[in-house]
Copies of this chain bind each other. A is one copy, B any other.
Amino acid sequence: MCSSFDPGKCPTVSEMLSRLGDKWTVLIIMVLRNGPQRFSDIKRTVVGVSQRMLTLTLRALERDGMVRRTVYATVPPRVEYELTELGQSFSEPIQAFGGWVFENYNQIHTARAAFDARSEAERGNDKLIKIG
């Protein structure tokens, strides 16, 4: 099993985790929860994504069976992306995680402020010691 937490032993979990961590995957999945979308629509909705990264991310999701890509042979070409069942299922634990952050981000910010204040204080002391 995965009980030793050796990334070499549970490569799929690690992979999926870093997929989550990349800059665009989660955003794109959330957008696709609203139904099938064209390439340009996604690009417009996911603010800041480059053409390149959108393509790469969609390809990766397609490869993992999360997204289905449908090409319509029209002029101009029309390509639609939609979540598969697997992709929908995948989006649920992600949403749960997002929900957790929303409920707890005050505590996170507070902790950060406290930590930074302490660090600041320590650096200040160092300075005094060095100067004195």
Enumerate chain B residues within 8 angstroms of A6, measured Cβ to Cβ. Answer: 46-48
Enumerate chain B residues within 8 angstroms of A62, measured Cβ to Cβ. Answer: 115
Enumerate chain B residues within 8 angstroms of A5, measured Cβ to Cβ. Answer: 27, 30-31, 45-47
Number of interface residues of A (CB under 8 A): 54
Residue in contact with A21 in the complex, picked from B13, B17, B30, CB distance below 8 Å = B17
- Answer yes or no: A86 CB below 8 A from chain B CBs: yes
- Answer yes or no: A8 CB below 8 A from chain B CBs: yes
Enumerate chain B residues within 8 angstroms of A97, measured Cβ to Cβ. Answer: 16-17, 20, 93-94, 96-97
- Answer yes or no: A63 CB below 8 A from chain B CBs: yes
Between-chain CB contacts (< 8 Å), 28 pairs: A4-B45, A4-B47, A5-B27, A5-B47, A6-B46, A7-B23, A7-B48, A8-B48, A12-B105, A13-B105, A17-B21, A18-B23, A20-B20, A21-B22, A63-B116, A64-B108, A65-B108, A65-B111, A65-B115, A66-B111, A86-B104, A89-B104, A90-B104, A92-B100, A93-B96, A93-B97, A93-B99, A93-B100
Which residues of chain A have a CB within 8 Å of any CB of chain B? 2, 4-8, 12-14, 16-23, 26-27, 30-31, 45-48, 62-66, 86, 89-90, 92-94, 96-102, 104-105, 107-112, 114-116
